[in-house]
Chains A and B, each alone.
Chain A
Amino acid sequence: MYTQAMDTQGPESEDKTLRSVEEFQLQQRFDATIDDGGFIEAKDWMPENYRKTLVRQISQHAHSEIVGMLPEGNWITRAPTLKRKAILLAKVQDEGGHGLYLYAAAETLGTSRDQLLAALHSGKAKYSSIFNYPTLTWADVGTIGWLVDGAAIMNQVPICRCSYAPYARAMIRICREESFHQRQGFDSLLVMMQNGTEAQKAMVQDAVNRWWWPCLMMFGPPDDQSPNSAQGMRWGIKRVSNDDLRQKFVDATVEQAKVLGVTLPDPDLKWNEERGHWDFGAIDWDEFWRVVNGNGPCNRERLAARVKAWEEGAWVREAALAHAAKQAEREPQAA
């Protein structure tokens, strides 16, 4: 799942110190590679700010995946059928795996897993605001698959062409797996809307009512309030603007909502023939900032769950290392 929090950091201070001729040439070569649509690999020279920005973005993306396991994990024990339980288990397992691909990519930039997790647990690092909302009914699970994963896919496909190759490769793996996430959610909702009771249909509509606007916020603040977007684009990290992605998502989802037979909770949603896009209503950015800054419905609960898992798992990590050391000692090394 994507994190939009990259845009919420302050603007990077530009490094204006005098550089050596060599560094100037390295910068030129770097810029030429980016402009050519080329790739930067882990051990290539890169500007310090490029490295820092990527560590932050990739690790926050990883944190989003791991924290994202919590709202859906909440329903594993209460899935209505064995089939849905198996599907949900597979999806949540995938999210764990996605987090691990991304931590691996972040660690190629010279940071450690422990440092990244310390930043998350202390509240310094962010994760996508969408995961600070609660999953109140079974319909929330399908709605997350349809809308949240749908929005994530929109965000993630362009990153498959990111200039930093380890991140791009991780994203290709993730996108391949993400499609099932959206399809299973849509499928689950379709069954309820086509074959369900009135109460079940109402439950689906209620879930859509609660998740729609937070999903639109997943794409981050409007372009004119996203000071870091320009630099991200110049570096080949960000390929499509927040507003463009958001519009693509609305256009695709309106058609999907018709198939489901649900109403998107926006009275201002209207086809604009001139633009060739769907117009939509104003987003409550106060809510977005509140949630990003720690005051959403579930922020404290999510972080507490992660910190608890880390602290209570310490003995497992230590025991595994101790066991490995003991085994190594016992077995004489083969030549």
Chain B
Amino acid sequence: MSTEAKNEWPLWEVFVRSRAGLDHKHCGSLHAADAQMAIQMARDVYTRRQEGSSVWVVRSDHITASDPGDKGMFFDPMEDKVYRHPTFYKLPDSVDHM
């Protein structure tokens, strides 16, 4: 089983932009031998209904992700900075549309 695993095609994460103006969204992963194959396969697997105007593939081991265990420490500093939100400021009605 372990020798087989070494011969597995690497794993790629797929990101698709469905149309111009929108962001690429992560939609899943697939195995491919190289980048060119990964792009073609991503089209076949994730855009059968024209859901894509642009496809990115990134080898899964090239992604750096935040550790969910650190969620608290990583994102907490944002929690007490309420002055970052527009609603923190009470303005006269006549200019409240700002």
Contacts and interface: CB of A to CB of B under 8 A. Distances in A.
The yes or no verdict on A and B being binding partners is yes
Interface of A: 41, 43-45, 90, 93-94, 97, 100-101, 104-105, 107-108, 112-115, 118, 169-170, 173, 177, 317-318, 320-321, 323-324, 327-328
Interface stretch (B22-30, B73-81, B90-98): B22-30
B1 A115 contact: yes
Interface residues of B: mostly helix, strand, loop or mixed?
A: mixed
A44 B7 contact: no
Contacts of B45: 97, 100-101
Nearest to A115: B1
B68 A317 contact: no
Interface residues of A: mostly helix, strand, loop or mixed?
A: helix
B21 interface: no
Given A93-B48, A100-B45, A43 B4 contact: no
Contacts of A169: 28
A105 B65 contact: no
B61 interface: no
Given A104-B30, A320-B37, A43 B5 contact: no
A323 B37 CA distance: 11
Contacts of A118: 1, 4
A118 B31 CA distance: 16
Contact of B49 (A112, A114, A177): A177
Contacts of A170: 28
Given A43-B67, A101-B28, A104-B30, A94 B48 contact: yes
Nearest to B4: A114
A2 B9 CA distance: 27
Top 6 closest pairs, chain A to chain B, by CB:
A320-B33, A324-B34, A324-B33, A104-B29, A104-B28, A114-B4
A107 B9 CA distance: 13
Contact of A318 (B7, B29, B67, B68): B7
B14 to A, nearest CB: 9
B1 A323 contact: no
Contacts of B58: none
A112 B8 CA distance: 9
Nearest to B41: A100
